Structure 1
Amino acid sequence: MKISTEDGHNLVSSALQKIGYTPESTKIIADHLIDSELRGYGVAGLARALSIADRLAGKPPAQTTKTTRSAPATAQIDGQDTLGYLVAYEATQVAIAKAKSNGVSAVGASGTWYTGMLSYYAEMAAKEDLVAIIASNCTAWVAPEGGYRPIFGTNPWCVGFPTGDGQPPVIYDIGTSKILHADVLLANRLGRELPPDSVFDKDGNDTVSPQDALSGALKVWGGHRGSGLAITVQLLGVMAGSAAFPPDLAGFGYMIVMVDPAQFRPIEEFKAEVDAFSKAMREGPALDKGKKLRMPFERSFGIREEGRNRGEFEVEDGVVERLKKLIDG
């Protein structure tokens, strides 16, 4: 169904407060979920509030963190089992402040779960004219290339660059599995099959059943290259403070490194070069004559702008119904 952005925000905010989040925490989480919806990633949008509720199972949510180490350019944050949308947001703010003061920063966070879209945090950095490199590990749901037992998480990797002239930031944000764990949960919730060639059952057979996938493994993206990248993300999360194998939906690691390009050349000059590269990319000849080349993040940025102008987005009927039931329950 179509739902107005305002109604969607109110709906998910009411659900989050019903779960037990404070108005301050709710705003941070809801803004992220609505941003996901507006950019066309519904699986990480309103539906995520249902997964948060499932994970908490009626228990009051943790909402406090502890800084365990701090230096001029670095910090480590213990999320104390607080939702990743809140922990990663805090870690990103700390990284921005330290990078603007020192030219570089590196902040690790652990003891968290569900960090959301890393591009959300990279965009926060780009608005401050900073380059961000982000990695986030999680529960072992994904099999390495050549195997079928889960050994690492869906493990997103993200790099973001600021731009000038009103252009969208350049942000490369990828998951290292063929589909997300959230895709499996949503398909299971709505009684749908998964895309072919995306998951294994527990015996290593291909399946389209979300139930079988939950006891099996997701397939890695990109063959041995994607498998290698996923391994590095897993270990960067370990450096941030996680265990090598975080437990189910707990103990994730989030690592963010920021660099101020102005430490190396005038910032406007740097952004002009990024813009020149982006322009050349967009104007390059495409093999498909009906399409144009584009920079990473450009498509979802445009979809979000269109959604904001329309003031609405599409969401699964079943997700809205379950959120209303959660609120009324």
Structure 2
Amino acid sequence: MKLNIDEATRLARDVLVHTGYSTAAADTIAAHLLDSELRGYTAAGLARILAVRDRLSLKKISKVVEDVNITKNTAVLAHIDGQDVFGYLVGQRATELAIEKAKQNGIAIVTANNTWTTGMLSYYSEMTAAQDLVSIVTANSTPWVAAHGGTTGVHGTNPLCIGFPGATPESTPIILDTATSQLLHADVVLAQRLGTPLPEGTAFDADGKPTTNPDDVFSGGAIAPWGGYKGSGLATVVQLFGVLAGSPAFPPALEQFGFTVIVIDPTQFQPIDEYRKQISTYVEGVHASSPKDAGSPPLRLPFERSAAQRAAAQKAGTVDVDDVVYKTLKDILNHKGDSTSSAD
């Protein structure tokens, strides 16, 4: 289903409000979801609203929570008890707090626990890059992912994100945001919802055999790791950053995740103009580097594809939403789906 961007945004916001979120919270979440849609990550787009509703229903949560508790707050660090608030709201608050502290003091570390599903970490790194700040963002989760050489879940999908401002305020930032698993949790959930198979080589069943059935992942199986022993090592690091933030080593299903954002002001080390000059030199050097295969497009930096896809979608003014997802969201608003609670 092709929707114009405003229509898709309204649909997301309206269903979130119907689910029980305040208008302000719904706007925050919808903006993140639409950014995922525009950049081509549809499993983490509007479809995620259905996963949110499923989670609230499964946990028998009759009223959504939006308030977090800042348990430690100093000039350069803070800790947030998410109080089971949706991670999109917790991550946004943590990043805003880290930006404020880094702007004032040059560096900031903000951690959060007791949250779930923090979304696309590049969304937070893009927030920091827009303020001329460098960021490192991690989020651990339920052990759905096998380690290298194994077939049972010991890691979350565990994305690691590192972001830098671009060569100019208008330039695309340089952001590496990579899950350490072959699939996102959202990919498996969406395949399960749509009844579609997983790609070959991306998951194991409970017996440790390769599977394409998404149901197998949540029935004692696991998602396959990404990047061999190196990717698995990064997954370990992210899992332990979650522990640093206050999560258990193996968070329960969609509960008690840990989120960490570290923000650095590069002007503490050199003038911003010099920093931008060197970034520009690096970007130009990568673009000018010869591709391995003759006739291939110029080499690109992390986030350039994503930003270009978003710009193209914004120019076209539309996003493509899966027909099943669209119909389910519309049915909710037409009272054919159950509301989790009414908004205050």
TM-score calculated relative to the size of structure 2: 0.94
Match of 1:135 in 2: 138
Match of 1:175 in 2: 179
Following the alignment from structure 1 to structure 2, what is the Cα–Cα distance between the partners of residues 173 and 290?
24
Following the alignment from structure 1 to structure 2, what is the Cα–Cα distance between the partners of residues 56 and 292?
45
Match of 1:207 in 2: 211
Following the alignment from structure 1 to structure 2, what is the Cα–Cα distance between the partners of residues 35 and 183?
17
Structure 2 portions without partners, runs of 5+? 336-344
Following the alignment from structure 1 to structure 2, what is the Cα–Cα distance between the partners of residues 132 and 275?
19
Following the alignment from structure 1 to structure 2, what is the Cα–Cα distance between the partners of residues 111 and 327?
30
Following the alignment from structure 1 to structure 2, what is the Cα–Cα distance between the partners of residues 295 and 266?
24
Give per-residue Cα distances to partners, 1:26-85, cap 9 Å, x unaligned.
010000000000001101000000000100116211111000111110000000000000
Secondary structure in 2 matching 1:302: helix
Following the alignment from structure 2 to structure 1, what is the Cα–Cα distance between the partners of residues 159 and 280?
25
Identify which of 234, 240, 254 aligns with 1:235.
240
Identify which of 181, 184, 190 aligns with 1:186.
190
Query: CA offset at residue 141 of structure 1?
Result: 0.3
Within 5 A, what are the aligned runs for 1:100-115?
Answer: 100-115=103-118
Query: CA offset at residue 241 of structure 1?
Result: 1.2
Contact 1:281/1:293 (8 A) holds in 2:
yes
Identify which of 140, 161, 164 aligns with 2:164.
161
Match of 2:201 in 1: 197
Match of 1:328 in 2: 334
Deviating beyond 4 angstroms after TM superposition, the runs of 4 or more aligned structure 1 residues are: none
Following the alignment from structure 2 to structure 1, what is the Cα–Cα distance between the partners of residues 134 and 258?
20
Query: CA offset at residue 20 of structure 1?
Result: 0.2
Match of 2:302 in 1: 296
Secondary structure in 2 matching 1:249: coil
Contact 2:134/2:165 (8 A) holds in 1:
yes
Letter in 1 for 2:245: A
Identify which of 50, 62, 67 aligns with 2:65.
62
Identify which of 250, 265, 280 aligns with 2:285.
280
Following the alignment from structure 1 to structure 2, what is the Cα–Cα distance between the partners of residues 139 and 187?
19
Secondary structure in 2 matching 1:207: coil
Secondary structure in 2 matching 1:206: coil
Give per-residue Cα distances to partners, 1:69-116, cap 9 Å, x unaligned.
111100000000000000000000000000011100000001111100
Secondary structure in 2 matching 1:299: helix
Match of 2:325 in 1: 319
Following the alignment from structure 2 to structure 1, what is the Cα–Cα distance between the partners of residues 246 and 331?
37
Letter in 2 for 1:141: W
Letter in 1 for 2:242: G
Give per-residue Cα distances to partners, 1:208-253, cap 9 Å, x unaligned.
0011122210000001111010000000011011111111001100
Q: Over aligned residues, Cα RMSD in angstroms? A: 0.8
Letter in 1 for 2:22: T
* Matched-pair identity in %: 46
Following the alignment from structure 1 to structure 2, what is the Cα–Cα distance between the partners of residues 209 and 191?
9
Secondary structure in 2 matching 1:243: coil
Secondary structure in 1 matching 2:161: strand
Secondary structure in 2 matching 1:296: coil
Give per-residue Cα distances to partners, 1:109-153, cap 9 Å, x unaligned.
011111000000000000000000011000110010111110110
2:10 is the alignment partner of 1:4: no
2:115 is the alignment partner of 1:98: no
2:39 is the alignment partner of 1:36: no
Letter in 1 for 2:209: N
Contact 1:163/1:274 (8 A) holds in 2:
yes
Contact 1:145/1:220 (8 A) holds in 2:
yes
Structure 1 portions without partners, runs of 5+? none
Equivalent residue pairs, number: 329
Contact 1:122/1:159 (8 A) holds in 2:
yes
Secondary structure in 2 matching 1:307: helix
Following the alignment from structure 2 to structure 1, what is the Cα–Cα distance between the partners of residues 296 and 237?
37
Query: CA offset at residue 290 of structure 1?
Result: 2.4
Letter in 2 for 1:183: D
Following the alignment from structure 1 to structure 2, what is the Cα–Cα distance between the partners of residues 328 and 210?
29
Contact 1:163/1:272 (8 A) holds in 2:
no
Following the alignment from structure 2 to structure 1, what is the Cα–Cα distance between the partners of residues 101 and 214?
43
Query: CA offset at residue 164 of structure 1?
Result: 2.9
Match of 2:252 in 1: 247
Q: Which moved more, 1:46-55 or 1:318-327?
A: 318-327
Contact 2:144/2:217 (8 A) holds in 1:
no
Secondary structure in 1 matching 2:153: coil
Match of 1:120 in 2: 123
